[in-house]
Amino acid sequence: MITKNPNFLIILSAPSGGGKSTILQEVLRVTDNIDYSVSYTTRKPRGAEENGTHYHFVDEPEFLSRRESGDFLETAQVFGRWYGTSISYIQSRLQAGRHVIMDIDVQGAAQIGATTIPYVKIFIIPPSMDVLRDRLVKRATDSPEEIHKRLDIARDELQYIPAYDYLVVNDRLGVAVQDVLAIIRAEENRVSRYWEPIAGFLNQERNNDQ
Ligand code: ADP
Ligand code: 5GP
């Protein structure tokens, strides 16, 4: 019997307003084998965001002390605020056989790429910068100055696309969600995630022939 060992990190990055939170919520709603990594941040809650659900909101001294203690798998400063991923949460969920999905910026994704933790990196882009601007304006969570800053940074972030495994264009939401689900399914079936069980299976077949 071949069993696979398919659990890995699903890293979603996108320019702010690209749709990663929306896609991520939908992926979590329609699957039952994925957990969400709630990041730590020093930024203030926006709109209806809740502590512990959307982020762990902490002040800078607490963030830096956790960083110093080695609590984070990766950290980055984005828009002048700190963001970080809890290493203990990731380890416990992967050990429990779950995938972990996370919404992190391009700097954090590069840091995880340098570790030995299995992952797939997906970059999400809106169909155009005009659509991105419209979505940020309609989301109504950021001031006009903040939106301007986020659009400027978006242009820089697009330079990192070649470091990702997949690109998903978030035009129609349903299609983008299906694309992400298809990527996860394909990744679960990668040969590298089967290698040890297959080696065992081949040995067993060889022994049966003798
Ligand atoms: P991010 O998490 O990347 O910053 P969000 O998920 O908050 O982006 O999406 C930004 C805004 O765009 C939200 O108001 C969201 O409802 C909207 N949005 C996301 N995807 C689509 C889409 N495919 N079509 C129309 N609006 C979308
Ligand atoms: P926002 O403040 O709009 O929720 O997120 C701003 C940026 O920070 C986004 O690009 C988001 O992906 C990124 N981000 C959120 N959590 C983390 C994290 O834990 N680590 C890193 N490196 N980036 C994060």
Interval 65-84: pLDDT, tens: 999 999 999 999 998 999 99
Residue 137 structure tokens = 């304006």
Q: How far is the CA of 174 from the centre of ligand 2 (A)?
A: 23
List of domains in the chain? 9-37+99-209 (3.40.50.300)
Pocket residue to mutate for ligand 1, from 22, 26, 102, 177, most atoms within 8 A of Cβ? 22
Residue 6 has a pLDDT of: 74
Residue 186 backbone dihedrals phi, psi, to 5 degrees: -65, -40
Instruction: Write 143-151 long-range contacts (CB < 8 A, 24+).
Output: 146/79, 149/79, 150/15, 150/16, 150/17, 150/79, 151/15
pLDDT of residue 112: 93
> What is the pLDDT at residue 144?
93
- The model's pLDDT over 145-167, given as tens digits with 9 standing for 90+, comes to 989 998 999 999 999 999 999 99
Which pLDDT value is given to residue 27? 98
Q: Output the residue whose Cα is nearest ligand 1's atom 20.
A: 19
The closest residue, in CA terms, to atom 14 on ligand 1 is 139
Question: CA angle 147-111-160, nearest 5°?
Answer: 50
| The pLDDT value given to residue 109 | 97
- CA-based end-to-end distance of the chain: 19
Work out which ligand 2 atom sits closest to the CA atom of 12: 12
d(CA 116, CA 104): 18
CB of 84 sitting under 6 A from ligand 2? yes
Nearest CA among 84, 176, 88, 69 for reference residue 131: 176
Residues of the chain with pLDDT under 70: 1-5, 195-202, 205, 209-210
What was the pLDDT predicted at 200?
Answer: 65
Give the span between the Cα atoms of 43 and 146, in whole angstroms.
13
User: What DSSP state is assigned to residue 158?
Assistant: G
- pTM value is 0.92
